Structure 1
Amino acid sequence: MDSQNWIDLAQDADTGIETLRAHFKGHAYDPHWHDSYLVGITEQGVQQFNCRRTKHQSTPGKVFLLEPGDIHDGDAPTEGGFTYRMLYLDPVWIERELGALFEDAPLNSQLSFANTLITDPQLMQATQMAFQTLHGGELKIVRQTALDNLLGQLTRHLHWRTRYGADPRLPLVAQKARDYLHAHAHQDIGLEQVAAATGVDRFRLTRAFKAAYGLAPHAYLVQLRLAKARRLLASGEQPAAVAMELGFSDQSHLGRWFVRAYGLTPAMYRNRCSNLPDMTVGKH
């Protein structure tokens, strides 16, 4: 590979989804196809490719969508080359997840992309978030939420989705889910377990929870863990031990969430905790 080109490839252990971030100058790759669905965004530059007998130019802000078997190539028509992010979604995984995410999804659900290159800010944001959470090895429930949102955006205009109506079970769902999160806050739970405990699909679960509490279930669970982290740090435990005890992949992972919530690192909080007000999430 040319020294100006680079590829950063990872695979999510739970889903098998591959995440790719790469940069190319000049010729990128010859015509080829994949047996996966490809959902990607161009970060920088112009990504030019031929697909479905049309020449496309993807620029930042656009989302490119390829189905299994779509033959495509790639090159950089401009001086600086291009950088892009891509998710490779297995068709078997998609069928299974759509059935779990939407209980009203038709059997043998698969995606069909009318356009290879589209401008859709919501889908672009969902693609970006799914890539970041998978590539960065986020908590299981955070990764699953991002993927659910991506599938929700990809199916937003399908006929069966537009008919997805209200559900009389929803008023109790949020309360049941909240109780479940409090009872299992120390475990690496997934959305499917919370959905099973409440008796609805994941889409309805997330919608009901956000309506009731203003946060998605994954964000609420993170806040529960951070509240516990504050208590452990205040009692003198080391950040690395706290991260391990609360299910964060490592100390830096805990640190990123902690700084976003409280504006300082776990170590700084441990040193100064007596000067901070109590902002823990309590169960009322």
Structure 2
Amino acid sequence: MPDRNWIDLKQDPVSGIETMRAHFEGHAYDPHWHDSYLVGLTEQGVQQFNCRRQQYNSTPGKVFLLEPGDIHDGHAPEVEGFTYRTLYIDPHWLDRELRAQFDEAPDNAQLSVAATLADDRRLTIATANAFEALHSDELLIVRQTALDDLLSTLTRHLRWRTLISPDPRLPLVAQRARDYLHSHMHQDIGLDDLAHAAGVDRFRLTRAFKAAFGLAPHAYLIQLRLSRARRLLARGELPVSVAAALGFADQSHMGRWFQRAYRMTPADYRRRCSNLPD
């Protein structure tokens, strides 16, 4: 049976926003996250995904909104699969652009999504227009106008969330382990190292971490490295260098995990986003 899945990915050179149109049948991708805000539109079929411990079914015309770090997967529950468009928006760019549109933007705060799935015709149209302008490489003024309209519409679906450190909603054990993974992500980290940093035994650590973040520590570490790999590859760095820098066993090891999460190879992602010759 031929593989009818496909991905069309581009990156806007001015805003840095990635635009992706894709089609999947059956299993689309494993649980993963992005460093970006995702604003996406389901074009055809039923796009089923799990996020924040809830299952969503996005149908044509609905817009899905994810924050950086939101763990999500993808599946097509119907045989014809689903087609969708997504804009991957850099958090710093979005924060800078939207502060001018909100009447009051608190200093010690970050943007938060009000609801993961939105049924808003104006947002649907704005998302489609922004995607088309960027993906088709329209004139700069056309791209900027479409993005301004999208951002203006998004203000009704975003809110400011006060930054809290440490986060009282999460166990301190899980937060210590997460911070250790972020600061030692390039190293060959063992569970004993992580447990020592968190101040508990390995078994309590694993249970607390999975309850807090929805992933076991080793899976979280892989996703952390993959997220960093995307940024390095988009800057034009070679897959072999990225794999070595991030602690993967070798390039093929990184490639297998990258393919499972993003359904494309690191080399293909680099080619589509960096505009550099191979």
Q: Does 1:66 align with 2:91?
A: no
1:41 corresponds to 2:55: no
Report % sequence identity: 70
Query: Would the aligned equivalents of 2:102 and 2:155 in 1 still touch at CA under 8 Å?
Result: no
Show the counterpart of 2:29. 29
What is the number of equivalent residue pairs in this alignment? 159
Structure 1 residues 158 and 53, CA gap change in structure 2 (3 angstroms): closer
- Compute the RMSD of aligned alpha carbons: 2.0
CA contact (8 A) 1:111 1:155 kept: no
* 1-structure distance, mates of 2:158, 2:65: 16
Amino acid at match of 1:17: I
SS in 2 for 1:128: helix
Structure 2-normalised TM-score? 0.54
Equivalent position of 2:183 in the other structure: none
The answer on whether the counterparts of 1:30 and 1:74 sit within 8 Å (CA) in structure 2 is yes
| Distance (Å, rounded) in 1 between the aligned partners of 2:158 and 2:66 | 17
Match of 1:120 in 2: 120
- Which whole-Å CA distance do the structure 1 matches of 2:135 and 2:15 have between them? 12
Q: 1:127 & 1:24 partners in 2: Cα distance?
A: 20
Deviation at 1:139, TM superposition (A): 1.0
> In 2, are the aligned partners of 1:12 and 1:18 still within 8 Å (CA)?
yes
2 CA distance for matches of 1:128 and 1:108?
32
Which stretches in structure 1 are left out of the alignment for 5+ residues? 161-284
Paired with 1:127 and 1:22, the residues of 2 have a C-alpha distance of 15
Matched residue, 2:151: 151
Q: Which amino acid aligns with 2:51?
A: C
Aligned residue number for residue 79 of structure 2: 79
CA contact (8 A) 2:38 2:87 kept: yes
Using the TM superposition, give the Cα deviation of residue 111 of structure 1 relative to its aligned residue in structure 2, in angstroms.
2.4
Q: Which runs of 5+ in 2 are unaligned?
A: 161-278
**TM-score calculated relative to the size of structure 1:** 0.53
Paired residues of 2:112 and 2:158 also in contact (CA < 8 A): no
TM-aligned CA distance change 1:82 to 1:22, over 3 Å: same
Q: Paired residue for 2:15?
A: 15
Instruction: Determine the C-alpha separation between the residues in 2 that align with 1:108 and 1:88.
Output: 24
Residue 107 of structure 1 deviates from its aligned partner by 4.0
1:157–1:4: structure 2 CA closer, same or farther, 3 Å change rule? Answer: closer
Change in 2 beyond 3 A, CA 1:53/1:100 = same
C-alpha contact 1:33 1:68 (8 A) present in aligned 2: yes
Q: How does 1:1-284 map to 2 (within 5 A)?
A: 3-101=3-101, 105-107=105-107, 110-156=110-156
| Runs of 4+ displaced beyond 3 Å | 99-110, 157-160
Deviations 1:235-262 (Å, cap 9, x if unpaired)?
xxxxxxxxxxxxxxxxxxxxxxxxxxxx
Q: Distance in 2 between matches of 1:146 and 1:12?
A: 13
Bigger mean CA deviation after superposition, 105-114 or 118-127: 105-114
* One-letter code aligned to 1:59: T
Cα distance 1:106–1:148, how it changes in 2: closer, same or farther (>3 A)? farther
Cα offset, 1:102, TM superposition: 5.5
